[in-house]
Amino acid sequence: MAALGSPLRTLRGLLRELRHASARAGRPYRDTPAYQHVLAAFRAHRVTSEKLCRAQQELHFQAATYLCLLRSVREHLALHHEYHGKGERSPDEVAGLVGFRLPQQPGGKG
């Protein structure tokens, strides 16, 4: 099984993604039910010195998976907005998107 990292790092990543999602909605992320649920779940599954909490490991795995989903969706939307739906483009624009320049025609015709 791959290492998940620390639960605190996962929690911070989840809260960062919630902040990004709430910024698009235009409201504070601390007022959302998702923020309150994530904090409550992480607080409820803390490891104490008296017991080994298997549910905490399951929660951490689910949180890491959900963090991956949120990050992937945000990055997908950014790429989608950058490269999709601008209609027909000229060959110069398309070449510029991928970092190329079209060769110039001799005699200054292009």
Residue 8 in tokens: 């605190």
Do residues 74 and 17 make contact, with C-beta atoms less than 8 angstroms apart? yes
Residue 109 in tokens: 């015709």
The pTM of the full predicted model, rounded to 2 decimals, is: 0.63
Give dist(CA 82, CA 13) in Å, integer.
24
- Contact residues for 12 (Cβ-Cβ < 8 A; gap 6+): none
Give dist(CA 79, CA 75) in Å, integer.
6
SS3 72: helix
pLDDT at 1: 42
Q: What is the pLDDT along the chain (110 residues), one digit of tens a residue?
A: 456 788 889 999 999 999 988 887 777 888 888 889 989 988 887 766 556 666 777 888 888 999 999 999 999 999 998 887 767 888 888 888 888 888 887 776 65
